[in-house]
Structure 1
Amino acid sequence: MGCRIKTSCRVKSVSSFGGAGYRVLKNDGSEETYDSVILGIHAPNALKVLGAEATHDELKILGACQYVQRDIYLHRDQNLMPRNSSAWSAWNFLGTTSRVFSVTYWLNHIQKIESVRPFLVTLNPPCVPDHVLRKWSTSLPVLSVAAAKAYLQLDQI
């Protein structure tokens, strides 16, 4: 018996198919059935795809995995790095008394880029950096005790 694998498919929903597999409804309206389905998407998106068919365990485990939308900047603004350049590291944390924090990655160090000018990537900057080369947004996982426990249970669903 062969194995059929589909990748890069835009899926609208996944539902049980009479206990004998799963019905996958794609965004283009076509349907296919499979013995097993692996969703390579963030947990909140998986819950949307599963919809009312989500089991108690799926709701509990996937619901504990939250994501937040963040702006990310590739830039050359050294003001987001330690003032003393000898204190620069691959990851540079900037915190405040509030719960808001920022992380700047020093790409020259991480990727062995030989350049006099720094290439920096900052997540959640306190202000828009100077000398921005590129900006994009992505969703990042919210690190929590509940999420850490949920990640350990993913193989149960």
Structure 2
Amino acid sequence: SLLRFFHNHGFLGLHTQHPWWTVDGGSREYVKRLVAPFADRIRLGCAVTRVIRHGGAGNAGRGGSTPRGVSVLTADGGEHAFDRVVIATHGDQALRLLVNPTREEERLLGAFQYQSNVATLHTDITVMPRAARAWASWVYQVSRDKTGRVIPATHYWMNRLQGVSEREHYFVSINLPGQIDPAKVIKTIAYEHPLFDLAAQAAQVELPGLNAAARGATETYFAGSYFRHGFHEDAFMSAVNVAELLLGRDPWAAAPAAAPVPAA
């Protein structure tokens, strides 16, 4: 897993590092453009609690009937019917949402584990090496607490990564909140990051097949960064693949024109 990570980032050679491109304004800008055609239909602040697939024994709707399709239950007590559902969450979250998951869903989605991490956006330069020449986009630090326990941390130098400022240095530190000057903390965010162990890597190979088998069956599809390396690009690619599966064509290509209706 570590070697695959290093290979993906071009860390296994002297001159193999990949050039980084940054979206002007951050990831929220490309999200805005992607959702623009249907932004008025997005429901925010309405958490999904369960996903029920219909059509089998024991899957009757709340009124006693047995509808087709998929029902999405939300935290406000709503139940919403759809022909198909795409669950774009972490793998373990997707599995928890499913009522009566299939054996394949349990086996594959259950292979992904996540680790809780705390990300702190701040301006405290003491987290970086004392020698400014040693500063890098990513700085890995290993320290010990009072009990001798090893505490690993990673610091992202946002000025170099994304050009956020020319006047002040900004950093994002993962898992080192206690050693950052509180007066220089801008925001703290709790994240969960995937652990790509051997079981997860083996499951990744079969995830596209899980989506392909959903057509005409569960009509439940999955997307997320856990399909590959855990990055934005990986989540994006998995979503494009699902769109291509559902549309039967390249999602970026123009939809074929409807056939003319013959005159009566």
Q: TM-score, normalised by structure 1?
A: 0.81
Bigger-Rg structure (1/2): 2
Cα distance, 1:125 vs structure 2 = 1.5
TM-score by length of 2: 0.51
Q: Distance in 1 between matches of 2:198 and 2:128?
A: 29
Of the structure 1 ranges 143-152 and 36-45, higher mean CA displacement relative to structure 2 is found in 143-152
- Mapped contact 2:118–2:177 kept (Cα < 8 A): no
Partner Cα separation in structure 2 for residue 149 and residue 76 of structure 1: 40
Which one has a larger percent strand, Structure 1 or Structure 2?
1
1:151 and 2:188 equivalent? no
- 1:148 is paired with a residue whose SS is helix
Contact conserved, 1:10 with 1:27, CA < 8 A, in 2?
yes
Q: What code does the residue aligned with 1:37 have?
A: V
Give the superposition deviation at 1:116: 4.3
1:123 alignment partner in structure 2: 174
**2:115 maps to 1:78:** no
For 2:78 and 2:167, locate their aligned partners in 1 and report how far apart those are by CA, in whole Å: 54
Give runs of aligned pairs for residues 5-154 of structure 1, distance below 5 A.
7-8=42-43, 10-18=47-55, 20-51=68-99, 53-95=100-142, 100-125=151-176, 127-130=178-181, 131-154=184-207
* Structure 2 unaligned spans of 5+: 1-40, 57-67, 211-264
> What is the distance in 2 between the residues matched to 1:133 and 1:26?
33
Distance apart, 1:75 and its partner CA: 1.3
Cα distance in 1 for residues equivalent to 2:42 and 2:177: 38
Instruction: Sort the Cα spacing of 1:60 and 1:34 in 2 relative to 1 into closer, same or farther, 3 A.
Output: same
Distance in structure 1 (CA, Å) of the matches to 2:75 and 2:165: 45
Partner of 1:135, secondary structure, is: strand
Give the root-mean-square deviation of aligned CA atoms.
2.4
Cα distance in 2, alignment partners of residues 134 and 25 from structure 1: 32
Question: What residue is the counterpart of 2:18 in the other structure?
Answer: none
Matching residue of 1:3: none
Query: Which letter does structure 2 place at the counterpart of 1:50?
Result: L
Partner SS state of residue 38, structure 1: strand
Q: Comparing both chains, which one has the higher relative contact order based on Cα–Cα distances under 8 Å and sequence gaps of 6 or more?
A: 1
